A = this chain, B = another copy of it.
Amino acid sequence: MTRHEKLSMAQALNRALRDALSDDPTVVVFGEDVGPLGGVFRVTDGLTAEFGEDRCFDTPLAESGIVGVAVGMAMNGMRPVVEMQFDAFAYPAFEQIVSHVAKMRNRTRGRVALPMVIRIPYAGGIGGVEHHCDSSEAYYAHTPGLHVVAPSTPADAYAMLREAIASPDPVVFLEPKKLYWSKEEVELGPRPPAIGRAVVRREGTDATLIAYGPSVPVALEAAEVADREGRSLQVVDLRSIVPFDDETVCAAVRSTGRAVVVAEASGFASVSSEIVARVTERCFHSLAAPIRRVTGFDIPYPPPKYEHLHLPGVDRVLDAVDDLQWEDS
C-alpha cells in the first residue's frame, strides 16, 4: 500500500533507513555519531532507540575502518549502510573503496557480492567551512565497480536509498547537503527503479540543461527564468551517474540540439567532462553548438563568504545558454 507524506530530504532518508531496517533484518547502520545523536544532519535520528544498538551504532572515529568493517559484514550476510560524516572525511576510506568495495565482486568471479551503501553528505551551498563541501563524485564515478547516485528531491531520496540498500552492488550514495531541508510530498511505496535512470524534470525545446544532485534546482530555476525571457529549456536530472542513462540524456539533447551541463564539482576531469564527451560522441551531428559546462572552478572549495562566487548559479547557467551560438554564423 502506498502512503504519502510531506518530508524533507533528511526526513525522507531517515524514513528509508527505518523502513529498510524494519523490512530486512540484515540491514545495519553505522558510522560516526549516527547513534544517540542521530547523525550531524539527523538522517539517522531515532534509529538506535527504535532498533537497538546492534542495528544502528556509533563506531570509533576511523573512516577506513568503517568502510572496511562494512565490507566484512557485507561478505557475511549483512547489508551495511555506513555514513561518512562529510565528503572530505570519506577520503581516509579511499583505498578500501577503490581496492575492495569496487573490486570484491570481480576478483571473486561474482561469488562475493558487497550489498553495501556508503552514504556521503556532499557538496556545498550551506556555508560550511573547508573540508565540508567537497563535490567528490568524480573520484567514485571514475572507479569501475561502484554505483554512484545523487538524488535531487525528497521522493527520489527515499526511493533511491531503498533501492540502493536492496541492490546487490555497492552504492556510493551522495546526499546534497543543501537539499536536506527541501520538502515535498513523498510516496513511500514501491516505485520504478531510479538507479541508472535519468528523468526529464522539465520539458523544453530550445536547449537541454543536464544536472544532478544539488544542481538540479539551479537548472530548474534557470529554466524558469529563461522561460520568462522567451527561451524554452529542458532539464534532465541524471539521478544516477553510474550507471549512466545515455538513452534519456541523448534523446533529450537530440531533441533540442543544444546543451549545458551544470555541476558544482571542479570541472577538470570530472563527471561533467564525461557528460560533454559522451554526449558529443553520440550526438555530434545533432549539435548546433558545443556543449557548455557550468561547474565549480578548479580551486579548493571556498569558504562561506566566497561560495556564491564559486557555485554554478542561475546567471552563470543562463550566460552559458546564451553562448550556445544562437545566431547564424
Residues of chain A whose beta carbon lies under 8 Å from any beta carbon of chain B:
64, 88, 91-92, 94-95, 98-99, 102-103, 106-107, 130-131, 138-139, 141-142, 144-145, 241-242, 244, 265-266, 268-274, 276-278, 280-281, 284-285, 289-293, 297-300, 329
Number of copies: 2
Q: Which residues of B contact A270 (CB under 8 A)?
A: 142, 269, 273-274
Instruction: Name the distance in Å between A170's Cβ and chain B's nearest Cβ.
Output: 13
Instruction: Name the distance in Å between A160's Cβ and chain B's nearest Cβ.
Output: 20
Given A269-B271, A269-B273, A272-B277, 20 more A-B residue pairs with CB atoms under 8 Å apart are A91-B99, A94-B94, A94-B95, A102-B300, A106-B299, A138-B269, A139-B139, A141-B269, A142-B268, A142-B270, A144-B266, A144-B268, A241-B269, A242-B268, A269-B270, A270-B273, A273-B273, A273-B274, A277-B277, A280-B280
Distance of A276 Cα from B284 Cα, bound (Å): 12
Please indicate which of the listed interface residues A98, A99, A106, A277 has the most CB atoms of chain B within 10 Å of its own CB: A277
Q: A98-B91, A138-B138, A142-B270 are in contact. Are A291 and B280 (CB under 8 A)?
A: yes
Instruction: Name the distance in Å between A213's Cβ and chain B's nearest Cβ.
Output: 15
Q: A269-B274, A300-B102 are in contact. Are A130 and B144 (CB under 8 A)?
A: no
B274 touches A280 (CB 8 A): no
Distance of A92 Cα from B329 Cα, bound (Å): 52
A272 nearest CB neighbor, chain B only = B277
Instruction: Name the distance in Å between A111's Cβ and chain B's nearest Cβ.
Output: 15
Q: Which residues of B contact A278 (CB under 8 A)?
A: 273
Distance of A300 Cα from B88 Cα, bound (Å): 24
Q: Which residues of B contact A242 (CB under 8 A)?
A: 268
- List 13 interface pairs A-B (beta carbons < 8 Å), by A numbering: A94-B95, A103-B130, A141-B269, A241-B269, A269-B271, A269-B273, A270-B273, A273-B274, A277-B293, A280-B280, A281-B290, A281-B293, A284-B290
